[in-house]
A = this chain, B = another copy of it.
């Protein structure tokens, strides 16, 4: 597996474009388009929130009930959530505009939105944006990078990842882009992530590979505990790598899954590290668990704890908050058997052994916690299962960003 530069245009046969449609933001791009040269098999995972944004409903229909997809149109600024039938109609109109100008079926156009909930989209601006982007579609890495920038809301950096693997003698590429960075506590998948690949694979296995991968990647991220109405991961597979079609769970399938998992893990960690107002990526590993489920429950509880996150911001080895968050997670374990470590580029330190302090050096702990990527490792000594969750610290800027997000 080779890590390469690029994002959604890294795989063969994919082009991207972006534009400043003036939907809500001024002086920046706010629309992106991904176009596949041939019809793709599409897989998707979507928010489990009862309140689903209109584009989620639109995309579910296409991913679940249509054989192919070829275009993704995404806007930032307005989420098109809680917008009723009018909002759903705008999904159709956006798809229709793209279908006309790109000469593809309307039901092969996926749409996605991110931004404020409850406002209606200015559909004429969206349609104009679609027309402007179509002739500018471009397969360069730069075009993909500009698309990744256009879908940002409170994100501070664009988020891309790409990787190549050899499958049956052919080079297969998987690349993607995503955006965070508030209302992030995915329960199915993260806010918006678009992954493209040139692998040749059956639609069923493509969906299965994605569904499995999101469990250990996007679903293990929490910025603020709020599961969005718009969470969407879309995966398009165009088949231009030329490998024999993957139709069973063989070695080729495993290789593809590894590549997909690498891209999803990288994007998920980028979302966590760029959480609203964050100064640090906070990684929580539970080891020695009785089951995967237990490890997931414990790690997500710690990574979601406001008190723990504030302590990480303060570089404070306040380990009691970590044990406390494990304790209220709902998972059963013996607190008096837990060992706890902090680790970062600056070193690793054992903080707690069998539920009580080791008498560690606060100075050394603070040094380790002052890095911009910090890991807490808890060993519950019950078995061999483990899980890793990603989040970020809780800072003044999170509050600032969210106290006046709409203004």
Contacts and interface: CB of A to CB of B under 8 A. Distances in A.
Contact of A313 (B81, B118, B332, B403): B403
Nearest to A362: B406
Contacts of A167: none
Given A187-B328, A225-B304, 4 more contacts: A84-B354, A224-B306, A310-B398, A311-B402
Interface in A317-370: 318-321, 323-328, 331-333, 335-336, 352, 354-357
A225 B86 CA distance: 36
A316 B405 contact: yes
A102 to B, nearest CB: 31
User: Which 4 A-B residue pairings sit nearest by Cβ, starting from the closest?
Assistant: A117-B320, A314-B403, A51-B327, A310-B402
A38 interface: no
A104 interface: no
Nearest to A402: B310
Nearest to A351: B118
Nearest to A86: B356
Interface in A373-402: 394-396, 398-402
- Which of A52, A306, A323 has the largest count of B CB atoms less than 10 A from its CB? A306
A226 interface: yes
Interface residues of A, number: 67
A225 B306 contact: yes
14 contacts: A50-B327, A51-B327, A82-B355, A117-B321, A185-B328, A225-B304, A226-B324, A311-B402, A311-B403, A311-B405, A314-B402, A318-B405, A398-B399, A399-B399
B225 A327 contact: no
B328 A48 contact: yes
Nearest to A228: B324
Number of copies: 2
A286 interface: no
Contact of A225 (B52, B225, B355, B399): B225
Contacts of A323: 51, 82, 117-118, 229
Given A316-B405, A324-B183, A327-B50, A356 B399 contact: no
A170 to B, nearest CB: 41
A117 B311 CA distance: 13
Contacts of A321: 117, 183, 226
Contact of A51 (B226, B227, B335): B335
A227 B306 CA distance: 11
A362 to B, nearest CB: 9
A307 interface: yes
A404 B314 contact: yes
A156 interface: no
A43 to B, nearest CB: 23
A305 interface: yes
- Which of A79, A224, A226, A406 has the largest count of B CB atoms less than 10 A from its CB? A226
A140 interface: no
A182 interface: yes
A187 B326 CA distance: 14
A171 interface: no
A79 B50 CA distance: 39
Interface in A65-83: 79, 81-83
Interface string A250-277: 0000000000000000000000000000
Interface in A286-311: 304-307, 310-311
Contacts of A395: 399
A211 interface: no
A403 B316 CA distance: 7
Nearest to A227: B328
A407 interface: yes
A352 B117 CA distance: 12
Contact of A406 (B117, B187, B318, B335): B318
